[in-house]
Amino acid sequence: MAQPNGDHNAAAKPPPTPSPLRFSKFFQSNMRILVTGGAGFIGSHLVDKLMENEKNEVIVADNYFTGSKDNLKKWIGHPRFELIRHDVTEPLLVEVDQIYHLACPASPTNVIGTLNMLGLAKRVGARILLTSTSEVYGDPLIHPQEESYWGNVNPIGVRSCYDEGKRVAETLMFDYHRQHGIEIRIARIFNTYGPRMNIDDGRVVSNFIAQALRNEPLTVQAPGTQTRSFCYVSDMVDGLMKLMNGENTGPINIGNPGEFTMIELAENVKELINPKVEIKMVENTPDDPRQRKPNITKARELLKWEPKIKLKDGLPLMEEDFRLRLGVPRNN
């Protein structure tokens, strides 16, 4: 008898069950992907997204310096997933097609990690993506920042290790590309926030949300008029994957152009989470960039990417996660 959808066999034949090999650890998938720093904040969200595709086999290399196995607990034991405790300042030999290089030890060893991952990419012919940073623009003299801007970085300042470490990492990427033909991708990530951020790592969004939930004053570092542009983590992951799978080396800015002063951010968090909390002005660290906002024309045109989640929609998603981890239920 004919089925309503026109498929004569639909009732008679159940869909074929996949071969047991599909579930064996020896199953060969189409793409083997290494994520260094995959136990961290952005890395673990990237792993979640990559694992959604049944053709991907994902290997995470992480030394848990700032990341945690907890971020990956749903994948541990999965046949397409492997977790290696490894410090990227030591060479790593694995057969992979793509490398997302996120592991970022406290610079300057950042450079050694990138050199090792480039060595791996060269050896196995993998495409490698570096998560660089908007910090390469330093305290920028042009606004918004576009990729052609060379930046204004203090080479001997307190934050130079990170900024200059990433700048050297970008240089190495291009040298390997030119000299050895390695396929490279460079993302310049602007401030990213979302669930699984480290609660006490001192970044502004995590600080303010944790402070509001703990009923502690929100510490705005002077003068408070400095600006940042905050990208929700799912948008970031989407941008990184589009960059990896597209045809452009970059560098490409990936960030949300919505720009806020730190006072505005504090007011947003206060209004959303704890209207009674105090906002307190505290001392800042030297060389804090006064303004930051990505020009994302390149990402829009070359990757067909733009962020979807506004700060006012992203903050509540992060609040939920922080409430759970800090043990502060909503009715308190």
Whose Cβ is closer to ligand UGA: residue 56's or residue 145's? 145
111 binds, among ligand UGA, ligand NAD, none (CB under 5 to 8 A by kind): none
Which token pair is 215?
Answer: 């009923």
CA distance 4 to 11: 11
Q: Does 192 bind ligand NAD (CB under 6 A)?
A: yes
- What is the residue-wise DSSP string for 204-240? HHHHHHHHHHHT--EEEETTS--EEE-EEHHHHHHHH
Determine which helix (DSSP H) or strand (DSSP E) holds 171, and give its type and residue range: helix 160-180
Q: Does 143 bind ligand UGA (CB under 6 A)?
A: no
For the chain, the first-to-last Cα distance in angstroms comes to 61
Whose Cβ is closer to ligand NAD: residue 102's or residue 210's? 102
Q: Which of 29, 89, 154, 261: binder of ligand NAD (CB under 6 A)? A: 89
Size of the site for ligand NAD (CB under 6 A): 28
SS3 category, 161 = helix
Task: Tell me if 35 sits within 8 A of 58, measured CB to CB.
Answer: yes
Q: Does 227 bind ligand NAD (CB under 6 A)?
A: no
| 36-55: contacts with ligand NAD (CB under 6 A) | 36-37, 39-43
| 277-306: contacts with ligand NAD (CB under 6 A) | none
Q: Does 239 bind ligand NAD (CB under 6 A)?
A: no
Beta 252-254 vs 184-189: how paired, if at all? parallel
Whose Cβ is closer to ligand NAD: residue 191's or residue 211's? 191
- As beta bridge partners, residue 60 has 35, 83
Binding mask 251-280 for ligand UGA (x = CB under 6 A): -----------x------------------
Q: Does 154 bind ligand UGA (CB under 6 A)?
A: no
Q: Which of 219, 234, 256, 274: binder of ligand UGA (CB under 6 A)? A: 219
Q: Which of 117, 173, 189, 204: binder of ligand NAD (CB under 6 A)? A: 189
Q: Does 221 bind ligand UGA (CB under 6 A)?
A: yes
Q: Does 65 bind ligand NAD (CB under 6 A)?
A: yes
Name the minimum Å distance from CB 28 to ligand NAD: 26
| 115-144: contacts with ligand NAD (CB under 6 A) | 131, 133
Whose Cβ is closer to ligand UGA: residue 280's or residue 312's? 280
Binding mask 37-76 for ligand UGA (x = CB under 6 A): ----------------------------------------
Place of tokens 């308190």: 332
CA distance 5 to 41: 45
- What is the residue-wise DSSP string for 19-59? PGGGGSTT---SEEEEEETTTSHHHHHHHHHHHTSTTEEEE
- What is the residue-wise DSSP string for 285-318? PTT--S---B--HHIIIII-------HHHHHHHH
Q: Which of 35, 56, 67, 116: binder of ligand NAD (CB under 6 A)? A: 67
Q: What's the 3-state SS for 77-144?
A: CCCCEEEEECCCCCCCCCCCCEEEECCCCCCCHHHHHHHHHHHHHHHHCCEEEEEEEHHHHECCCCCC
Q: Which positions lie near ligand UGA, rule CB under 6 A?
A: 133-135, 189-191, 202-204, 207, 219-221, 226, 228, 262, 284, 288
Q: Which positions lie near ligand NAD, rule CB under 6 A?
A: 36-37, 39-43, 61-67, 86-89, 102-105, 113, 131, 133, 189, 191-192
